[in-house]
């Protein structure tokens, strides 16, 4: 929304002065907008509030959310006063666990226990939103915070958590992380219990915790990868420096990293420059630049069908096997299926299913995620219980020896997990999913990704300096 508003504002100031912009929100930082929009007017609409009682957990614990909710429902007197109950949870996993836990509670025998999140069908969402003959207990993500209204709710339980859009530091792809909500979001959630009458909101955290939270949620533009945003903006032909202004300007480092990625993927002619022909095609696919690049390469290499499935699994962080190709043999989760079908529409008539070229297509989309198995001699000396992969991006990733049966020496590492020991400041990277590739395929990458250096050695026997040329891909020595 940040970039969309910035784009519309840019259009209004340049070629579309007839545009009228209306920005509406229940939790809005108006000061920022008043200084950004052209000659803005501020209209505040207040409604008569019903009495709202906010309660806090007196003894916050580390118990799982479903157990905290179970205890709250068993002991809170408001549950017997009539009306519906709305419980805010961060995501689908917590909703599923809570539904399973609450179904056995005798206190809820007269309730319909219903989930509510963005991956449900319209019919399933309507069941949670519309009035029912029985009392409802709805377990929802923040979709019910502002987007949807559930009438009849007079008791809200707030976990104080949400899934926030961010991006994976490894893949550079959009991801969701669990974070504490802001004060504004907490107040919005509490207000859902008093829209049609007096209500109660029980926060499963302390008042001190609430007071320490930021007033507003950090804008998505300041915590997300900007490569896709820049790709879309460049496709409009706007001059980023002369015509475009951000509502909240991202850091120079974030913008530079996005420009570097687009150039590395062949989407721009130069760093910070205009789109190439391939970059224009990438901008038409509603996916991150790495995924759109993967799909375009796969369509040219004759492996689109398996690439669609693999791309969806990567995007949804649903790769379940160390060997990424083995994940293709399993049924993908619903969100991955939906993404797969959406992207397929951009390749009409192409249904090629040859999986042999999948590694090459993936390599071209993740050229900075190449790894090389460390030599057996070094491995034996380290007495390791893991196979060590040297990363082109620097450092190394570990794979358990017992789980590693791939014969390749080179890989594209698609997913990792970083762990740290409590008594040490050092962390380790563990590869969770990878794809075997050939060295010849690595050498087929763009010349811009390689650098050649000269290494000098003193030859004691000949009493003179000798030189050796070394080809590197990032921090990885190839030859």
Q: Which tens digit of pLDDT belongs to each residue from 290-321?
A: 999 999 999 999 999 999 999 999 988 888 88
State residue 173's pLDDT score.
58
Measure the CA–CA gap between 298 and 304, rounded to whole angstroms: 5
Concatenating the DSSP letter of every residue in 22-76 gives ----SS--HHHHHTTSSS--------PPPPEEEEE-SS---S-HHHHHHHHHHH-
State residue 25's pLDDT score.
76
Residue 244, Ramachandran bin (φ over 0: left; ψ between -120 and 50: alpha; else beta):
beta
State residue 242's pLDDT score.
54
What are the structure tokens assigned to 170, written together? 């490894």
Q: What is the value of pTM for the model shown?
A: 0.75
Q: What is the pLDDT of residues 41-87, one digit of tens each?
A: 888 887 777 899 999 998 777 889 999 999 999 989 888 888 999 99
Question: May I ask the CATH class of domain 227-367?
Answer: mainly alpha
Say which DSSP state 156 is in: E
Residue spans of the chain under pLDDT 70: 26-27, 147, 167-175, 238-243, 376-384, 402-404, 420-426
State residue 243's pLDDT score.
62
Measure the CA–CA gap between 479 and 476, rounded to whole angstroms: 9
Burial 129-162 (b: 16+ CB within 10 A, else e): beeeeeebbbbbbbebbeeeebebbbbbbbbbbb
Q: What is the pLDDT of residues 414-433, one digit of tens each?
A: 988 777 655 555 678 888 89
Residue owning tokens 């805010």? 88
β-strand pairing of 111-116 with 153-158 = unpaired
State residue 385's pLDDT score.
77
Measure the CA–CA gap between 430 and 417, rounded to whole angstroms: 5
Residue 402, Ramachandran bin (φ over 0: left; ψ between -120 and 50: alpha; else beta):
alpha
State residue 382's pLDDT score.
46
Query: For a pLDDT cut of 90, what percent of the chain falls above it?
Result: 40
Task: CATH 1.20.120.1080 in the chain: give the residue spans.
Answer: 227-367
State residue 394's pLDDT score.
85
> What's the maximum distance between 2 C-alpha atoms anywhere in the chain?
94
β-strand pairing of 410-420 with 427-437 = antiparallel
What are the structure tokens assigned to 352, written together? 């090629």
Across the chain, mean pLDDT equals 86
State residue 283's pLDDT score.
95
- For helices 252-264 and 227-235, the axis angle rounded to 10 degrees is 70
Give the CATH fold of the 52-221 domain: Rossmann fold (3.40.50)
Measure the CA–CA gap between 85 and 72, rounded to whole angstroms: 12
Residue owning tokens 């042999």? 356
Task: CATH 3.40.50.300 in the chain: give the residue spans.
Answer: 52-221
CA–CA distance from 126 to each of 123, 151, 346, 418 (Å)? 5, 12, 31, 40
Cα-Cα-Cα-Cα dihedral of 255, 256, 262, 264, to 10°? -160
Measure the CA–CA gap between 149 and 255, rounded to whole angstroms: 37
Say which DSSP state 176 is in: E
Asked if 333 and 315 touch (Cβ cutoff 8 Å), the reply is no
């Amino acid at each position: 929304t940040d970039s969309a508003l910035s784009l519309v504002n840019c259009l209004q100031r340049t070629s579309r002065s007839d545009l009228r912009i209306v920005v509406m929100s229940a939790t809005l930082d108006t000061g920022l907008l008043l200084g950004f929009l052209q000659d803005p007017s501020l209209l505040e609409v207040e409604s008569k509030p019903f009495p709202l009682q906010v309660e806090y957990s007196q003894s916050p614990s580390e118990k799982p959310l479903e157990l905290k909710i179970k205890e709250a429902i068993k002991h809170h007197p408001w549950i017997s006063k009539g009306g519906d109950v709305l419980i805010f949870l961060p995501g689908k996993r917590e909703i599923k666990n809570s539904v399973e836990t609450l179904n056995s509670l005798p206190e809820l025998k007269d309730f319909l226990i219903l989930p509510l999140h963005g991956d449900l069908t319209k019919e399933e969402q309507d069941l949670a939103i519309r009035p029912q003959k029985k009392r409802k207990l709805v377990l929802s993500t923040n979709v019910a915070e502002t987007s949807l209204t559930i009438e009849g709710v007079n008791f809200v339980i707030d976990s104080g958590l949400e899934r926030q859009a961010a991006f994976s530091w490894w893949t550079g792809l959009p991801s969701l992380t669990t974070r504490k909500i802001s004060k504004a979001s907490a107040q919005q959630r509490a207000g859902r219990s008093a829209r049609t009458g007096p209500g109660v909101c029980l926060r499963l955290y302390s008042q001190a915790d609430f007071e320490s939270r930021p007033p507003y949620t950090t804008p998505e533009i300041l915590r997300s990868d900007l490569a896709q945003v820049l790709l879309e903006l460049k496709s409009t032909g706007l001059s980023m420096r002369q015509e475009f202004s951000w509502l909240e300007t991202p850091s120079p480092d974030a913008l530079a990293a996005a420009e570097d990625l687009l150039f590395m993927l062949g989407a721009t002619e130069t760093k910070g420059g205009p789109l190439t022909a391939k970059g224009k095609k990438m901008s038409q696919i509603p996916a991150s630049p790495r995924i759109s690049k993967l799909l375009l390469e796969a369509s040219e290499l004759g492996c689109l069908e398996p690439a669609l499935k693999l791309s969806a699994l990567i995007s949804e962080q649903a790769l379940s096997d160390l060997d990424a190709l083995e994940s293709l043999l399993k049924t993908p989760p619903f969100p991955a299926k939906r993404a797969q079908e959406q992207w397929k529409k951009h390749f009409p008539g192409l249904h090629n299913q040859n999986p042999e070229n999948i590694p090459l297509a993936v390599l071209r989309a993740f050229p900075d995620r190449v790894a090389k198995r460390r030599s057996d001699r070094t491995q034996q000396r380290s007495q390791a219980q893991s196979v060590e992969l040297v990363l082109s991006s620097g450092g190394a990733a570990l794979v358990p020896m017992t789980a590693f049966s791939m014969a390749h020496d080179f890989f594209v590492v698609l997913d990792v997990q970083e762990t740290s020991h409590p008594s040490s400041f050092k962390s380790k990277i563990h590869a969770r999913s990878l794809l075997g590739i050939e060295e010849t395929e690595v050498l087929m990458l763009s010349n811009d990704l390689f650098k050649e250096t000269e290494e000098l050695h003193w030859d004691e026997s000949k009493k003179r300096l000798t030189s050796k040329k070394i080809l590197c891909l990032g921090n990885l020595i190839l030859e």
